[in-house]
Structure 1
């Protein structure tokens, strides 16, 4: 009900009550109209393990807090598909409906994730400067932040990669793999890859296909990053410590529900047979699970590698928008093997 219509209703009500000889009640407060994209966020803590809320470790990773995220001020805070975390704690994510979500992480004195503030939700713009309309145009799946501040966003259905300049302005097309993707199984994973150059990025298809691309050059195919079997899909990637990357695969079946595997891979540019898996984390069983589609890395206050996972609830009542944090410290390198002293030849007398 707009302000003019509400005013007329209140005036007519007051007139009728006055005519009957009774004093009219005070007018109802009118909710203020939002002047910008800011939204209030509600968060609820979630445990690592629903069967044991005190559990804090899993396969060498330390659980650093988890949140269920909602907002009473919008019906569009759903379908978060990928995220990036800035050094100052700023969070940026993209959604299946073509929105850009921003917030700020709240950590407690021990560095654990305990909340989100400063929520913002606004539509991603197209080359015409207008917000994207409809899921076919707005189904954003991957997000990558280049060193110069430019943002790359990959879309499926209408498969494309767009570059959003750091200085603002409309997006422009960026190179994408020269392949044909299924309608709803496109470029799920996207990651800046500075080890190959300041404008380099990795693209991953849901079936595990992987490409190295550059803003200034075409994409080239790499060895695939595949899950345990064909029921698992690649949903996220991010760079880690030089040539290494982190991948995330999700699986689903009606019996076990959603499952996930996080992997640290030493070098995605090497052939598949020579790739080394540094560490892995499995979200299964009684751990807090959902349709995780985004992964981002940071540094915890203690200096450990901080991993953030975000889930896509699909706008469904039986799923949730979750943000989980884990800390991981790489094991120390093994000591170098002692040098063998060459044996001196024995001289015969």
Structure 2
């Protein structure tokens, strides 16, 4: 998470989704204020966009998400975990949200340098892996993110990353290996990345395109990976990009990939940092993308749902 203030496009709410409880509310927004019926952009189809609000002090700052059955499990860059249910129809479109709960991640204390969680993924054995920056590390938690953590051995080069240049993107591939992508330096041509297992890491390069930087990754059933990127400039405000990397590219040294979409103003976009993918009933893949509001009243926690090509 960069310490920046992002511009937010504000829309008049057209009503709210069904409320699963009395704390979490989802308000639908149009992708385009000029064309409210717009759904197709780039190579993806937008299934919906919502602003999520809740009164709890720990709700916000979401930087990583994963699916656990019909619940989103999330971590924040202030050291919290949270869960909420998302009920969808056959087309993968959310119909209701609710059952929100959360608390502090185990072992992080109150220090920002200890609790800057950036991504979360399941380890395949009923546990959760959480990536942190500032004090760069990956911790393995049990099903209860509030306790029971242990350190995962990373490539030694991760300890040389700058405080705000750490691991932003992490996902577990189908063969059990992890892919880790650092945000990297603003003036560098690539971000460092690693693929492998503890004690068996291969270094990779994730090329930069303009000011876009990686913020999340999600494994795909075909062995490839979907990567979420974010850009922010003072003249243009926030923007997001989705890049799909083929399985064959993961065997090389350079994670180039294919651009699926870029969202930028005047379309509705905020500081999108979190990504998770799952199939809907017909097997098509649906990506859920959440924004980090930095606990800034000028930003929002947005939930964007898109159908992948």
Q: CA deviation at 1:194?
A: 2.2
Q: Determine if the alignment matches structure 1 residue 201 to structure 2 residue 184.
A: no
Q: Determine if the alignment matches structure 1 residue 54 to structure 2 residue 31.
A: no
Any idea what the Cα deviations from partners look like across 1:49-82, whole Å, max 9, x if unmatched?
222111111123111112111112x122111001
Q: CA deviation at 1:85?
A: 1.4
Cα distance change of structure 1 residues 294 and 318 upon mapping to structure 2, 3 Å threshold: same
| Equivalent residue runs for 1:229-240 within 5 Å | 229=210, 231-240=211-220
Give runs of ≥4 in structure 1 deviating > 3 Å. Answer: 108-111, 166-169, 275-279
- Judge which range, 166-175 or 182-191, deviates more: 166-175
Q: CA deviation at 1:264?
A: 0.9
Any idea what the Cα deviations from partners look like across 1:240-281, whole Å, max 9, x if unmatched?
1232111111110011101111011103423356x6735511
Structure of greater Rg: 1
Cα distance change of structure 1 residues 302 and 62 upon mapping to structure 2, 3 Å threshold: farther
Cα distance change of structure 1 residues 184 and 278 upon mapping to structure 2, 3 Å threshold: closer
Distance (whole Å) between structure 2 residues aligned to residue 159 and residue 47 of structure 1: 37
Q: Which runs of 5 or more structure 2 residues have no equivalent in the other structure?
A: 1-20, 185-190
Equivalent residue number for residue 35 of structure 1: none
| Equivalent residue runs for 1:131-150 within 5 Å | 132-150=109-127
- Note if contact 1:67-1:115 (Cα within 8 Å) is conserved in structure 2: no
Cα distance change of structure 1 residues 167 and 102 upon mapping to structure 2, 3 Å threshold: closer
Q: CA deviation at 1:104?
A: 0.6
- Note if contact 2:66-2:121 (Cα within 8 Å) is conserved in structure 1: yes
| Equivalent residue runs for 1:60-99 within 5 Å | 60-72=43-55, 74-86=56-68, 88-99=69-80
Q: CA deviation at 1:304?
A: 1.5
Structure with greater contact order relative to length (CA < 8 Å, sep ≥ 6): 2
Higher percent of residues as strand: 2
Q: Structure 2-normalised TM-score?
A: 0.84
